[in-house]
Structure 1
Amino acid sequence: MSYTYPVAHPTGTLTTEQLHLFLSNRSLIARRVADITKMRFIADYLLQARLDATGGGIFYETGEPVFSSEDPEAISPLGEFPLVVLDDGTVASAKTDKWGLDTMVSDEKIARQGRTYVDRGILRVANTIVRYVDSVAMAVIQSKVTSTFTSDEWASAGAAVEAMISVQGERADLGLGLELDTVVLRPTQYAKVIRLLVDDKALPREAGETAVNGSLPVNALGLTWATTPHFQGANPLLVDRDQLGGMADEKLGGPGYASAGNFGVETKSIRDEDAEGYKLRGRRVTVPVVLEPLAGVQLTGTGL
């Protein structure tokens, strides 16, 4: 999965008439929002399970054991196999919230500033929704991932590798099939790590221009390094994206709403004849869910 900043801006110009047609077409609006927000939700990147919250909520199990309470037995020819009852995890529930925002685009702005102003309005709505949903998701992850690992200060790429291998070994010993391979950092921490990797010549050749092209995440030392300004935790996180959890989205439907996929921002363009303009609306109805708290660990003592 790609997760790239910055998202490329569109090229080409549209006439005033074409922009009015564009704002009247819900499918085109949805596709434009999807292009702008593509892979920008850190929430969707870290919580990769796509969960259905039809009805406004979801029940799920956390900490479900991967072993049965009984050991297997030697079976004689035509013998019966022992039957064991598998233990369940802890049942939890989560309720979706609807996060949304409107902005107005006047006929005057369309005529005078064209597509630039329309895109700026869409971008403002989309960015705000992304920021808020990501902030909520990161807060949930941080509150659920409570286990910690104290490492020596990361004065070199080797020190970082030693810490990661130690954590991965501890999780492997639990026999849960976890593969913690993604590090999540605040932007300032990420900058320090990139400097370590560059100074120690630990970046793979194809990632050598990371510092100037802004591509995220970076793959180095057998790990994926990602950052987001919406993560405010003091300690970097090491997670297994496949098992950590998911985003539970609810599709409310409603006249005029459209989205470019099954999940993500839903959009609606509402023509206001009295004001002579368009109300651009975006919303996402979702809740972040951590299914396996042990699929992540907080890294303390790094000195980042």
Structure 2
Amino acid sequence: MPGPSYPPAAPTISGELVTISRFLQSPTLIGRRLRDLTDLRFISDQILTQRFRSSGGAVMYEVSEPFLNTRPVKAVAPGSEYPRDTPAQGVAALAAVTKWGEAFFISDERIKRSVYAGDEVDRQLTKAVNTVANKIEGLSTAAVSSAITATQAATATWDNASASIFRDVEVAAAKITDLNMGYNPDLLLMSTSKYALLMSDPIIANLRRREATDNPIYGGDIDRVGKFKVVYTSAANLPSNDVWVIDSKQLGGMADEVNQDPGYATGAYNIQVQTMRRPERDGWDLWARRLTVPIVTEPGAGIRITGTGS
């Protein structure tokens, strides 16, 4: 009986099934490296930096509390009473903490038979943590977008030859400072494409030190412009595809319910995880959660530079 023709047909894949000639070795499987929270470039915890502890499932706060009373100080004659004033207060607000999370089941068979073997649990748990963090990111950026209403138009789109990027930033920051609320803008938030324009801007390049090791032509990065820390991410992660100037220390923060429940371990972004053996199903239940609410206490601590381009 004649032998099989050589070479045998190449492997084929249809849906979840791989068909391989018995005369061929199995093809090498190249698995995708799972991205962690750093790779996903979430920015909510960089712009809402304050940390609050909730009680009773909610947090109460004041929005834009004044630091001056409304009545001006007057000269007081000898023997006269001091003029009285009512201390100024901010607008009271209440935010309820929500538990955000999801669970999934992994069978023993999947763990034993998976090409990732013992790493299968870690890979699936990483996906759950990323999913929870992605949800919190969306809530945080939505809160920032709705709270910050101040805008400053750019001189020109940042890809235009007449653009004045550094001036746009400084003029926007000046608007925040001139509110006389004690704000000190210290952070620039933008998309990766806007960052590329900022890093290659000739005016900014001429203002930097020449032949220094922190020059982006050597290090490939600009982490600060003037007094501003530069944070860039995907446009999808931003409140809107504008450039944001922010006082990151005063804008707001995350109110987490941090009391530890039995069995949970807390990791990055205050995300809690737990696993439980399900012997009746020969597998494991795993879940991740975060009990939090994003709050913006000082809407005046941010401004949006519009007209910078797409």
Mapped to 2, the partners of 1:115 and 1:199 lie a distance apart of 50
Q: What's the counterpart of residue 250 of structure 2?
A: 243
Q: How many angstroms apart in 2 are the aligned matches of 1:197 and 1:264?
A: 41
Contact 1:68 1:87 in 2 (8 A): yes
Pick the aligned partner of 2:184 from 144, 162, 179. Answer: 179
2:214 aligned to 191, 195, 206, which one? Answer: 206
Helix, strand or coil: the match of 2:270? coil
1:60-79 alignment runs, 5 A limit: 60-73=61-74
Contact map agreement 1:156 1:196 (CA 8 A) in 2? no
- Check conservation: 1:156, 1:200, Cα contact below 8 A: no
Report the equivalent of 1:124.
127
The answer as to 2:266 corresponding to 1:269 is no
2:153 maps to what in 1?
Answer: 150
Instruction: Give, as a single letter, the amino acid of the residue that structure 2 aligns with 1:147.
Output: A
The reply on whether 1:234 has 2:235 as its aligned counterpart is no
Give the deviation of 1:74 after TM superposition: 5.2
User: Counterpart in 1 of 2:31?
Assistant: none
Separation in 2, partners of 1:76, 1:125: 69
Does the residue aligned with 1:44 lie in a helix, a strand or coil? helix
Q: Is the 8 A contact 1:157 1:200 kept in 2?
A: no
State how far apart, in whole Å, the 1-side matches of 2:150 and 2:255 are: 24
Cα distance, 1:138 vs. partner? Answer: 0.4
Alignment of 1:31-70 (within 5 A): 37=37, 41-70=42-71
Deviation for aligned residue 1:120: 1.5
Q: What's 1:279 paired with? A: 285
- Give me the identity figure in percent: 28
Q: 1-side partners of 2:206 and 2:197: how far apart?
A: 14
Q: Distance in 2 between matches of 1:167 and 1:256?
A: 47
Question: Helix, strand or coil for the counterpart of 1:298?
Answer: strand
Q: Which residue of 1 aligns with 2:22?
A: none
Could you tell me whether the CA contact under 8 Å between 1:144 and 1:293 is conserved in 2? yes
Q: Tell me the CA shift for residue 106 of structure 1.
A: 3.5
Where does structure 2 lack aligned partners over 5 or more consecutive residues?
Answer: 1-35
SS at match of 1:164: helix
For the pair shown, the structure with the greater C-alpha radius of gyration is: 2
2:199 counterpart residue number: 194
Structure 2 CA distance, aligned partners of 1:187 and 1:296? Answer: 20
Partner of 1:28: none
**Alignment check: 8 A CA contact 1:202 1:220 kept:** no
Correspondence 1:125-140 to 2 at 5 A: 125-140=128-143
**In the TM superposition, what is the alpha-carbon distance from 1:68 to its structure 2 partner?**
1.5
- Which position in structure 1 is the counterpart of 2:8? none
2:288 counterpart letter in structure 1: G
- Give the aligned residue type for 2:184: E
1:30-58 per-residue CA deviation (whole Å, 9 max, x = no partner) reads xxxxxx54796522211111112221212
Q: Looking at both structures, which has the greater relative contact order when contacts are Cα pairs under 8 Å and sequence separation is at least 6?
A: 1
SS in 1 for 2:281: coil
Q: CA deviation at 1:257?
A: 1.8
Gaps of 5+ in 1: 1-35
When normalised by structure 1's length, the TM-score is 0.75
Cα distance per residue 1:5-62 (max 9 Å; x no partner): xxxxxxxxxxxxxxxxxxxxxxxxxxxxxxx547965222111111122212122111
Higher helix share: 1
How far does residue 126 in structure 1 lie from its aligned partner after superposition?
1.2
- The count of corresponding residues between Structure 1 and Structure 2 is 264
- Return the offset for 1:156: 7.0
Contact 2:148-2:299 at 8 Å conserved across structures = yes
The answer as to whether partners of 2:144 and 2:239 remain within 8 angstroms in 1 is: no
